[in-house]
Amino acid sequence: MISRRTMLKGIIASGVGAALNPSFIPSVLGASEKKSVLSGIPRRVIFFLQNNGFHTDTCIPIGMKQSASLSGAKLPESIRPLEPYLDKINIVNGLHGLHTTPTHSAYYGALGGYPGGEHRPPSAETIDYTISNLLPETILPHLRIGMGDLSSMESQPAVTALSASGPGKPLYMHCNPNHLYQTLFGSIADGEMKKRYEVKSRIFKEVESIAAKGKSELLESDLVRYGSYVDGFSDINDLRQKLSAYSDQLKEFKPEYSEKYLSPQYETDWHDALLDIGIASLRSGMTNTLTIASGRGDVWGSWEGLGVETTGHFLGHMNQEGNPIWHKIRQYNCRMLVKLMKSLESVPEGDGTMMDNTLIVYTSNNADKQHTNGSTWPFILLGDCSGRFKTGRFVQLDGSRPINALYATLLDAVGAPCDRYNMNKTNAVKYDSHFGPLRELLV
């Protein structure tokens, strides 16, 4: 007879355990823990991070050296698809991440504003998670997506690298669009997908019941970890029930389940599918915080669908501006950003559209380039988040303020102002010339 402990170990070993860890679907049940300061105000924030750095030459408008209007500006070739939207963006240069110790990636430090590194656990929560707990409550407050090469997205459908809910608490990102589609839209799907969804739902409920009774067989040292997996089963079952009750909204915005899911020719087919799921999740109101990691927050990834044969780490050792390979990757990102904006603009909200109440933050998980000291860390902000941010501007800062100052600015915009984000007074004196948000960006 197989014991409860053995059964759960088998599930975890098969890889299902990662997907059921509560860090994979945080705050699904966390209404009592949420501290929303914006009840009734529709607002959302999207983070889009490209790996291998975001070099200043690929983002500073041609000929600009000081802060100025973007009206009539010419953008570098890498981000030229954004040129028709100059009045909707804000290009920010001159922030630093010296304290994040980036090399191949700052990992959790990129969104946390603290020292990061490969195999180094997060030392605090990250800004995307923080914001997800401040915005109005949704079924899935924070959705995270990781885009890599096909083989890694298949073999590792869930990875951690960028987001965290606290010290030593990494959050998984979804990398396989088939798994994510079935989780979010399986309850309203047809045919085999619906059958698989229903079978999994029955199994998850049964395993949750069995697992909850298995504590008596464990040593005290195993109880905490075991309990987190029991909570994971409970959370995913609760999510499935909530999604079933939300079927009308899901049906209206559900993306088409096409061949690019089942038979992708290139990894970009899955990248596009993941983006479609992210957009549907936003438009349906399922989530209001979305984190997208192109390269999955590390140095790897491939873009063969764009005609790019070079992959992963090797891309990071190539110059970005003037490089046709990087033009293709960066322009692909920009087309994704435009698609996000247009998709949200198509949905009415209040006196305007969803995009009127949205901010998209585009940057890298590794400052400006590979093997950088983080002395300069460019950002592009798209949208004004309900009129809180200036747009149509290029802002050149003097390099004395860290990325934490931008994150404090985001918190100010969503109604939770703070002097410092993830930076104690000692480090602030060393790395930040001022306290509080970047007033240059706010209306």
- pLDDT tens per residue across span 121-157: 999 999 999 999 999 989 999 999 999 999 999 999 9
How high is the pLDDT of residue 16?
41
How high is the pLDDT of residue 233?
62
Instruction: Parse the chain into domains and list their residue ranges.
Output: 40-179+264-431
**Which residue blocks in 125-176 are alpha helix, DSSP H?**
127-132, 150-155
Neighbouring CB atoms inside 10 A of 13's CB total: 9
Q: Are strands 44-50 and 289-294 parallel, antiparallel or unpaired?
A: parallel
**Which residue blocks in 266-312 are alpha helix, DSSP H?**
267-283
Look-up of token digits 């619906």: 194
Q: What predicted TM-score, i.e. pTM, was given to this entire model?
A: 0.88
Report the SS3 class of residue 49.
strand
Structure-token pair, residue 123: 């030392």
Q: Report the alpha-carbon distance of residue 8 to residue 226 in Å, rounded.
A: 9
From 377, 386, 401, select the one nearest 344 (Cα to Cα): 386
Kindly report, residue by residue over 333-383, the tens digit of the pLDDT. 999 999 999 999 999 999 999 999 999 999 999 999 999 999 999 999 999
Contact 397, 56 (CB under 8 A): no
Contact 377, 97 (CB under 8 A): yes
Cα dihedral 315→124→144→109 (10° resolution): -10
Q: Report the alpha-carbon distance of residue 298 to residue 348 in Å, rounded.
A: 36
How high is the pLDDT of residue 277?
97
> Percentage of the chain surpassing pLDDT 70?
83
From 399, 325, 388, 385, select the one nearest 355 (Cα to Cα): 385
Ramachandran quadrant class, 157 (left: phi over 0; alpha: psi -120 to 50; beta: rest): alpha
∠ at Cα 326 (322, 328), nearest 5°? 110
Cα dihedral 396, 402, 407, 408 sign: negative
Helices H / strands E in the chain, number of each = 15, 12
Report residue 266: phi and psi, to 5°. -135, 165
∠ at Cα 415 (413, 420), nearest 5°? 75
| Cα of 234 vs its chain's centroid, Å | 24
How high is the pLDDT of residue 405?
98
Report the SS3 class of residue 93.
strand
Neighbouring CB atoms inside 10 A of 362's CB total: 26
Q: Report the alpha-carbon distance of residue 23 to residue 215 in Å, rounded.
A: 21
Kindly report, residue by residue over 49-106, the tens digit of the pLDDT. 999 999 999 999 999 999 999 999 999 999 999 999 999 999 999 999 999 999 889 9
Q: Report the alpha-carbon distance of residue 45 to residue 49 in Å, rounded.
A: 13
CATH topology of domain 40-179+264-431: Alkaline Phosphatase, subunit A (3.40.720)
From 301, 395, 220, select the one nearest 50 (Cα to Cα): 301
Kindly report, residue by residue over 170-228, the tens digit of the pLDDT. 999 999 999 999 989 988 887 778 777 777 767 666 666 766 666 666 676 666 666 66
Distances (CA, A) of 46 to 162, 290, 344: 14, 5, 12
∠ at Cα 151 (149, 155), nearest 5°? 120
How high is the pLDDT of residue 1?
37
Residue 9 pLDDT > 50:
no
Cα dihedral 168→358→82→394 (10° resolution): -80
Ramachandran quadrant class, 52 (left: phi over 0; alpha: psi -120 to 50; beta: rest): left
In one-letter notation, the amino acid at residue 305 is G
